[in-house]
Amino acid sequence: MNYRRKLLLAFGAGGLSAFLPALAQQQKRLRRIGYLSQSSALPNAARLAGFRAGMAELGWVEWRDYAIDARYADGISEVAPGLATELVATKPDLLLVISDDGISLLAQRTKTIPIVVANSQDPVGTGHVASLRRPGGNVTGLTNLSSELGAKRLQLLKEAFPSVAHVVLLFEPGNVGSVSQAKEFEKAAPRLGLRITSIDLRQPEDIEPAFKRGGALGAQAYVVAQGGVISSQRRVIIDRIVRLKVPASFTDDLYVEAGGLMSYGASYTDNFRRAAAYVDKIFKGAKPGDLPIEQPVKFDLVLNLKTARAMGVKFPQSILLQADRVIE
């Protein structure tokens, strides 16, 4: 006697129709999401919390419907390729990454597993997608427009601290997004009457020499680009800048929450929340290459008044009025 006939005898036709949806629910396959980051677990916690919130809004329950297998390079670029290989080898249902560098690592290793990026700098310019409207291939997601916001970040820094004339930029030459941001900063600085000097960080050991050089150059402020080394070492960088008592602008609010003075940019947490919609569609049968790349809709100016007091600086009223969030 087959399984369905046994159920009919046990429940009757009406009882079976009520029972089958519950049975199907129990038999639903757990979807596996591989997550790769070149930074450490701590700065990714809030971002993944945003993603989990987005999944919950769409009815997906972690550990019932999906599970995340996260790998972190802790800012060590040499480690990331091996982690990417390991992650792809597990054959997850989908891969989630934060940036273009993550796409590069994974796209070299799979052309079939869907890849969703939450904060791409320039997916078309890097060749990861054919176009924003129709990506093609196995990559889709959101941009963060970070390079295009360089001028705005410098403008806000100059408005907050008008006496600043020389800015030092910390960036990572091996990070696509970081290089793109550096170019935008360098282009925008002269229009704002600023002189900018770029100093590269390739590994954590470069941080102290970078600040020594910045001091020797007479840096009056710092702007800090995105990057795996920078993100994983953000507390070290922030502590060094605060002790120098010079203004600094960062890419997102995680740095300000960690003690940085100010940040302006697309909300990474909101982008991760929106990335859940891509995952939902792909899990329901959509092809990544058919899902248009979307741009951020939420941009935040975040200020840390506690840090400002510790540094002995004050934000003018014009900046305070523009702030989306103020940390007391």
The string of DSSP letters for 244-267 reads HT--EEESSHHHHHTT-SEEEEE-
Beta bridge partners of 303: 262, 326
Q: CB–CB of 146/226 below 8 Å?
A: yes
Q: What is the pLDDT of residue 17?
A: 42
Q: What is the pLDDT of residue 110?
A: 97
| pTM (2 d.p.) | 0.76
Q: What is the DSSP letter of 99?
A: S
Report how far residue 60's alpha carbon sits from residue 280's, in angstroms, rounded to the nearest whole number: 8
Q: What is the pLDDT of residue 15?
A: 46
Total residue length of the chain: 328
Q: CB–CB of 21/57 below 8 Å?
A: no
* Alpha carbon separation from 241 to 86, 168, 174 (Å, rounded): 37, 11, 23
The string of DSSP letters for 248-314 reads EEESSHHHHHTT-SEEEEE-HHHHHHHHHHHHHHHHTT--GGGS--B----EEEEEEHHHHHHHT--
Instruction: State the Rg of the chain over Cα.
Output: 23
Q: CB–CB of 311/242 below 8 Å?
A: yes
Q: CB–CB of 83/69 below 8 Å?
A: no
Q: Which domains are assigned to the chain?
A: 26-145+267-297 (3.40.50.2300), 147-266+300-327 (3.40.50.2300)
Q: What is the pLDDT of residue 181?
A: 85
Segment (H or E) for 198 = strand 195-200
Q: Nearest Cα to 160, choosing from 311, 35, 7?
A: 311
Give 9: exposed, middle or buried? Use CB within 10 Å, 0-12, 13-18, 19+: exposed
Report how far residue 283's alpha carbon sits from residue 179's, in angstroms, rounded to the nearest whole number: 34
Query: In a 3-state reduction of DSSP, which class is residue 34?
Result: strand
Q: What is the pLDDT of residue 24?
A: 41
Q: What is the pLDDT of residue 7?
A: 41
Beta bridge partners of 31: 66
Tens-digit pLDDT string for the chain (328 aa): 444 444 444 444 444 344 434 434 444 799 999 999 988 888 789 899 999 999 999 999 999 999 999 999 887 878 999 999 999 999 999 999 988 889 999 999 999 999 999 988 788 878 899 999 999 999 999 998 766 788 899 999 999 999 999 999 999 998 777 888 889 899 999 999 999 999 999 999 999 999 999 999 999 999 999 887 888 788 899 999 999 999 999 988 888 988 999 999 988 889 999 999 999 999 999 999 999 999 999 899 999 999 999 999 999 999 999 999 999 8
Query: In a 3-state reduction of DSSP, which class is residue 46?
Result: helix
Q: CB–CB of 60/94 below 8 Å?
A: no
